[in-house]
Amino acid sequence: MEHRVRIDEELNEQPLEVILRPTADEKGAWTGAPGPRMGPRLFGGQAVAQALMAASLEEDAERLAHSLHCYFLKPGMAEEPVEYRVTHLTAGRSFAARRVEAWQGQLCIFSMITSFHRPEPGFRHADESPYPLDVEGARAALDEWRERGGDGGEHPLAQRLQRRPIEIVPLDPSAIFGGAGHEPRAAWWMRLRRPARADPAMQRALLSYASDMLFMRNAMLPHAIQPGSHEVQATSLDHALWFHETPDFDRWHLFVSDSPWAGSARGLSRGHFFAEDGRMIATAQQENLMRPQGEALERLAAQDQPAPPSPA
């Protein structure tokens, strides 16, 4: 146990941009190092980010990723390295497509197709953030909520987030840390804790890593359940990102997300990243498993029972 704690401390001391950059091996593949632990399983955002970097390192520097679509096929182990195998699918004057598979041992755990585009001029429009772009106001509101008796500082999730390389400030702390039912939407500010001054490809990887943090919670909010609880088996099933502009994750980004649907033990979440100046930077979408179990399954079964007939 002491050895594992020491490993975690060393990983948390490494800059995230170093962890997310895989290294080439002698077989023509890429090896991704273990990253900050979020449990015994490999964090999905780390797989997305390392796979994107593996594809980017084989791509013309003038073309940048504009979208990615991926599936989480099997659980990965957090303490084990990951081998990323890149296949060149197409390459034209403007666009190129790459497939990336992630392997641990003999098991393919993840698959992605990502598309790259050479920037060019075009028509523009974008939605605006539905919330004020005031991160300092959000930080002050979080402090006030804690002073009023909110348990955000003592909440296990808050303590885990304090050890993560991405800093998070929720607009509504009760949606993130509360246990009561809540409408299926939330928003939070995010940025890298230690500035990376990274290039455009790595900035996309950093946003990809962050996009998987807390995302599935939207679909669970109306049902008063949380990932990791004994009432639900939860994991990401797939993940998609569209990059509209190059992010700068040294600076704050507001992630505005919601869940339009849940059913059949699955939930759908979607969201947009906004820069501090209001520009829409990226769009994300994810479906996750949220299989009820234990008392939650019993409650659902009781709700599905037909009502008794009315007395004559």
Task: Find out whether 79 and 127 touch, Cβ atoms under 8 Å.
Answer: no
Known catalytic membership, residue 14: no
For the chain, give the mean pLDDT: 90
The residues spanned by each domain of the chain are: 1-121, 132-303
The residues, ordered by sequence, that sit 6+ positions from 41 with a Cβ below 8 Å of its Cβ are 75, 76, 77, 78, 235
pLDDT band of residue 1 (cuts 50, 70, 90) is very low
Known catalytic membership, residue 106: no
CA distance 194 to 19: 13
Residues 203, 236, 259, 269: which is the catalytic one? 236
Average pLDDT over residues 35-57: 94
Residues 46, 172, 212, 269: which is the catalytic one? 212
**120-154: pLDDT as tens digits:** 999 999 999 999 999 999 999 888 887 876 655 56
pTM: 0.91
pLDDT exceeds cutoff 80 at 54: yes
Q: Helix or strand or coil: residue 217?
A: helix
Give the tokens for residue 281. 């930077």
Average pLDDT over residues 96-125: 98
Residues 211, 226, 269, 286: which is the catalytic one? 286
Give the tokens for residue 223. 């049902």
pLDDT exceeds cutoff 60 at 8: no
pLDDT band of residue 56 (cuts 50, 70, 90) is very high
CATH class of the region 132-303: alpha beta
The DSSP bridge pattern shows strands 185-192 and 253-263 to be: antiparallel
CA distance 79 to 11: 10
CA distance 63 to 67: 12
Superfamily name and number for 1-121: Hotdog Thioesterase (3.10.129.10)
Compare 206 and 153 and report the one with higher pLDDT.
206
CA distance 100 to 55: 7
Tell me whether residue 112 is exposed, middle or buried, using C-beta atoms within 10 angstroms of its C-beta: 0 to 12, 13 to 18, 19 or more.
buried
